[in-house]
Amino acid sequence: MKVLIADIFEQSGIEGITAAGCEVIYQPDLADEKLAAALASTSADVLVVRSTKVTEPMLDAGSLSLVVRAGAGVNTIDVSAASRRGIYVSNCPGKNAIAVAELAFGLILALDRRIPDNTADLRAGRWNKKEYSKAEGLYGRTLGLLGFGNVGQEVARRANAFGMPVIVWSRRFVRDGAHSPAEGRTSRSARTDIEITVIQSPEEVAERADVLSVHLALTDDTRNFVGASILNRLKPGAYFVNTSRGEIVDHAALADAVRTRGIRVGLDVFAQEPSTATDDFRDPLIGLPNVIGTHHIGASTDQAQEAIAAEAVRVIRTYKDTGKVPNVVNLATKTPATHMLVVRHRDRPGVLAHVFEHLRSGNLNVQETENVIFEGAEAAIARINLDGQPSAHLLKTIAQGNQDILNLHVVTI
């Protein structure tokens, strides 16, 4: 199995993939047309990327069966195009959560104590203890979280340690219903052992928070999710931090909140980021007073990158050895199947081929299938999910056409 790594990747990961019996092609500077050309020339089975975009033409150029995102999000990969071509897309969720949470809390502390401004004045030869002694402090102030995935949970743990009450809005609590902490009630979640209060709207979180931190995945639903309706509910002088994705925040509305409401802002992500590691950068937000930033480095610690590399190795090794893909993101949770054909049969060659051939003649598409062998390997039971109901005549034809079929029946699903 050939694995093309098209981004900077840990040496431990390269060694792990090689030890799994794969041929590794390490070309970390590939992008755009060069990546498409490399996929075509190498005939790689697996592509590993970090921030490099994977487009439909790239998927057409080679013979990939798996794309591994060495990180959490998959918004840089054309997942829909991969799904149409039967290409698995996998990621490494949660492995950089601590690193991102550490940076988020670093930005919160930097905003409260104005650390960048302190440093700039010192470097310019100015001593201004009177100005910089005006910090309010974090103890007892409320941290609001939008999103409570792996990163949000790690931020909440650190807030608990700082003595900050944590309020949370997350779709997971809306989905989970009764299994979630009750609205407005402070609780220690059994799943996370973190003390939080669940709030039912992001606007109310913003209204009650002294610090608002965003930890949402970028989807069609979350693009520009944090706009004026949320930002205008923040208290004057509140802190706003985003270490998730720049596209989640309406940056024009955020700039307005900075100008009109004195919001202090810490950003690791921006609306328009350079596509390369070093480049010129201009963003109107970062030039405003009380706005500080970092260079989209949330996941960039040695600890996080080693953990991500180890998880990427596990994904590739499992795929090579078993054909199964851990952390796959593009398998259907529910197929269009409406009926299941259950076939109990002797474990003999040609039985399932006979069944599938007659299903094809009946214009029935097999959506999923499972064949389980009984102890002793003399008999088996096949469960075949179909996109329609087989006719009584077709069932009779299948049953009578092969002597190794012991029984069959149809279940509506």
Catalytic residue among 50, 245, 251, 264: 245
Which helix (DSSP H) or strand (DSSP E) does residue 117 occupy? helix 115-123
pLDDT at 333: 81
The helix/strand count (H/E) of the chain reads as 15, 17
Residue range(s) occupied by CATH 3.40.50.720 in the chain:
2-95+303-322, 97-298
Structure tokens at 383: 């469960």
In 56-183, at which residue ranges do the beta strands (DSSP E only) sit?
A: 66-69, 88-90, 143-146, 166-169
Whole-number Cα distances in Å, 406 to 355, 366, 396: 13, 21, 12
Q: pLDDT in tens for each of the 413 residues of the chain?
A: 999 999 999 999 999 999 999 999 999 999 999 999 999 999 999 999 998 999 999 999 999 999 999 998 898 999 999 999 999 999 999 999 999 999 999 999 999 999 999 999 999 999 999 999 999 999 999 999 999 999 999 999 999 999 999 999 999 887 655 445 555 555 555 455 899 999 999 999 999 999 999 999 998 899 999 999 999 999 999 999 999 999 999 999 999 999 999 999 999 999 989 877 789 999 999 999 999 999 999 999 999 999 999 999 999 999 999 999 999 999 988 888 999 999 999 999 999 999 999 999 999 999 999 999 999 999 999 999 999 999 999 999 999 999 999 999 999 99
Structure tokens at 202: 């992001």
Catalytic residue among 203, 204, 273, 306: 273
CATH of 97-298, one of 3.40.190.10, 2.60.120.10, 1.10.150.20, 3.40.50.720: 3.40.50.720
Cα separation of 147 and 168, whole Å?
7
Whole-number Cα distances in Å, 190 to 163, 196, 260, 335: 20, 11, 41, 32
Which helix (DSSP H) or strand (DSSP E) does residue 341 occupy? strand 339-346
CATH of 2-95+303-322, one of 3.10.20.30, 3.30.1950.10, 3.20.20.450, 3.40.50.720: 3.40.50.720
Active site residue 245: yes
Cα separation of 144 and 278, whole Å?
33
pLDDT at 187: 58
Structure tokens at 1: 């199995």
Q: Tokens 């990158």 correspond to what residue?
A: 305
| Chain segment 314-372, per-residue pLDDT in tens | 999 999 999 999 999 999 888 889 999 999 999 999 999 999 999 999 999 999 999 99
Cα separation of 183 and 139, whole Å?
24
Strand pairing class (195-198; 291-293) = unpaired
Catalytic residue among 50, 296, 345, 358: 296
Global pTM?
A: 0.79
| Chain segment 172-231, per-residue pLDDT in tens | 887 655 445 555 555 555 455 899 999 999 999 999 999 999 999 998 899 999 999 999
Beta carbons of 64 and 45 less than 8 angstroms apart? yes
Beta carbons of 112 and 239 less than 8 angstroms apart? yes
Active site residue 296: yes
**339-412: what CATH class?**
alpha beta
Residue range(s) occupied by CATH 3.30.70.260 in the chain:
339-412
pLDDT at 276: 77
Cα separation of 315 and 193, whole Å?
28
